Structure 1
């Protein structure tokens, strides 16, 4: 059986925050550690999901689609870079 490695995070809380967390943990029948880990993990997953997903309004979506369907002509710098790449192959 593999040993579970545990990491530690130290927090400094105001008395009000500590009291609030203790009360919420008790109400959910969890230890303070369980409550804080569960709460932080759920919030972390939400933040990560929000940053991985891009939501555009209709106007922004139309601008993106327009840019994709009508790309700008390559400028001189891009043409030189493409030529260098082609020469390397």
Structure 2
């Protein structure tokens, strides 16, 4: 039976000797091979990047707090409101 976790795809990178030395030093600190370190670091970064695109679950208490926060009226931000009323370089010229 094939192992679904078996690694079958290769990823090659061209990097400077300095970058490789930094990765090797960091891998040693974590007691990992460079490949293990690079893969785990890249996957952590990918998860961070995709986090807002994933589903997340909340228990009932947190769900209710989340929904209550969404239902609250927005707080007034006078400085932001003033800024948004100012003309921008992209506005058409005033016909006055």
TM-score by length of 1: 0.54
Q: Which structure has greater helix proportion? A: 1
Deviation of 1:50 (Å) = 3.7
What is the RMSD computed on CA atoms of the aligned residues?
2.4
- Which segments of 5 or more consecutive residues in structure 2 lack a partner in the other structure? 56-73, 77-96
Relative to 1, partners in 2 of residues 1:29 and 1:42: Cα closer, same or farther, differing over 3 Å? Answer: same
Q: Which runs of 5+ in 1 are unaligned?
A: 60-89
TM-score (norm 2): 0.50
1:1-89 matched pairs, under 5 angstroms: 1-3=1-3, 4-51=6-53
Runs ≥4 in structure 1, deviation > 2 angstroms? 50-53
Instruction: State the number of aligned residues.
Output: 56
